[in-house]
Amino acid sequence: MATFSSLEIFNPHVPAMALEADFHWQTQGEKGHLALTLTPQADGQWLSLLGGKLRFWLRGIDLTVQGEGATINNGQNFFNAGEIIFKPETLSPQIVNVDITLAEQWARLQVEVKAEARQVAIAETQSLWPADLSPNQLAIADRLLAKFLAEAYLTPALCWGQWLLSKSADSDPQIPWQPLYDIENHQAVTEANTISLGDRLRLAINSPHLDCLALGKLVGLDPQRDLAGGKFVGADLNGIDLGNSQLMDSNFRGAILTDSDLSHADLRCGNFRGADLSGAYLEGANLHQADFRKSSLALATLIGTDLRGADLRGATLQNVNFSGAKVENLQFGDNPGLTPTQEAWLLENGAQLTSESVQEMLR
């Protein structure tokens, strides 16, 4: 009888995410599929930090599987499941099935689950900073915390495990293996990084007059990649230059982005509800599934943008240039300034004319 047994499994952050594994044989002792269950918690995880505390949850994770003595999916010994997304309104376990074919009498499977800073959402904080921080300061403090969690606290991995497959229970393979990570050595790194985090948070707190970009650079954030997933709600980003930046999953609701340069930026799944992007330069930007409801895009340049699946209902579109934009499944309607010619072009290229109630747009 073929067997499946655990060598190690670590879930150090169960309140945020837990990993379980099972194996289902399709051909006894030959092939089957590894069922990996990832379970997030709706309330996320609380963490005491710097005399206060915070609660975070994960909007996404990355999962990889490596096999020794087996092939995975299409004959490879390594599999990257890509990003697995979790929605806050529908947090539920996700199951990833991976096809496994034994190439030897036994096989060792290694699974790692990791999270990047952009996938870490800070739900709330207590006693970490004064109550009167500006939206710009809050935005930078939020990303400082997310970067710390991803690079110091949720490392070396969010969760991981190793499992053994054997073609026969009678065989007793003496397989050399060792734990994936040394947790004790990692703890010292975490404590050192905590001190650095406190110093950088104080810099942000004591610099209320800097703009968002200058503030980020002051505390050591890279504007090109460390602002992704941020909360820029109500922030003043007028004239900011974030061209070519990684800004996916960010919340710009009600932000001022007039005359900003966001050309070729990755703004996928961004929330721009009620934001002012008048005169913004967005040429070549990835706006896939971005939400622009009730925003202003007057005089904005949208040449060559990816607007597939985006929502522009209620947005002001006066003198907007859509040349070369991808608009399949874009939703629009009730758009001040949109000309009949532009409306016809959008429909011809796969956009959908819809509308919604004022209550829904303001939700």
pLDDT tens figures, 289-314: 999 999 999 999 999 999 999 999 99
Instruction: List CB contacts of 5: < 8 A, sequence separation 6 or more.
Output: 163, 164, 166
Q: How many whole angstroms separate alpha carbon 171 and alpha carbon 169?
A: 5
- Rounded to whole angstroms, what are the CA distances from 150 to 122, 266, 351? 12, 20, 37
- Rounded to whole angstroms, what are the CA distances from 324 to 254, 258, 283, 302, 303? 27, 22, 10, 8, 6
Whether residue 174 has pLDDT greater than 90: no
For residue 212, give the nearest of 275, 256, 167 by alpha carbon.
Answer: 256
Is the dihedral angle over the CA atoms 349, 355, 361, 363 positive or is it negative?
Answer: negative
Give pLDDT tens digits for 136-158. Answer: 999 999 999 999 999 988 988 99
What pLDDT does residue 212 have?
92
- Residue 301's SS3 state is strand
Whether residue 172 has pLDDT greater than 60: no
Instruction: Supply the mean pLDDT for the chain.
Output: 91
Which band of pLDDT confidence, cut at 50, 70 and 90, is reported for residue 43? Answer: confident
CATH number assigned to the domain covering 3-189: 2.60.40.10
Whether residue 357 has pLDDT greater than 60: no
Whether residue 188 has pLDDT greater than 90: no
Q: Look up residue 224 and give its two tokens.
A: 């090109």
How many CB atoms sit inside 10 A of residue 290's CB? 26
Poorest-pLDDT segment among 31-40, 284-293, 341-350:
31-40
What pLDDT does residue 343 have?
96
Whether residue 55 has pLDDT greater than 90: yes
* Helix H or strand E encompassing 56: strand 52-58
Predicted structure pTM score: 0.87
For residue 100, give the nearest of 26, 180, 160, 171 by alpha carbon.
Answer: 26
The answer to whether 340 and 320 are in contact (CB under 8 A) is no
Q: Which residue has the tokens 């002792």?
A: 29
Q: How many whole angstroms separate alpha carbon 59 and alpha carbon 128?
A: 22
Q: Look up residue 8 and give its two tokens.
A: 């190690």
Q: How many whole angstroms separate alpha carbon 299 and alpha carbon 306?
A: 18
Q: Starting from the edge strand earliest in sequence, which strands make up the sheet with 94-102, in order?
A: 17-27, 31-40, 94-102, 70-72
For residue 314, give the nearest of 261, 267, 272 by alpha carbon.
Answer: 272
Our CA angle for 300, 306, 311, nearest 5°, is 75
- Residue 348's SS3 state is helix
Kindly indicate whether the domain formed by 232-363 is annotated with CATH number 2.160.20.80: yes
Give pLDDT tens digits for 212-240. Answer: 999 999 999 999 999 999 999 999 999 99
Pairing assessment for the beta strands 45-49 and 52-58 based on DSSP bridges: antiparallel
What pLDDT does residue 171 have?
59
Whether residue 90 has pLDDT greater than 80: no
Which band of pLDDT confidence, cut at 50, 70 and 90, is reported for residue 89? Answer: low
Domain boundaries, the chain: 3-189, 232-363
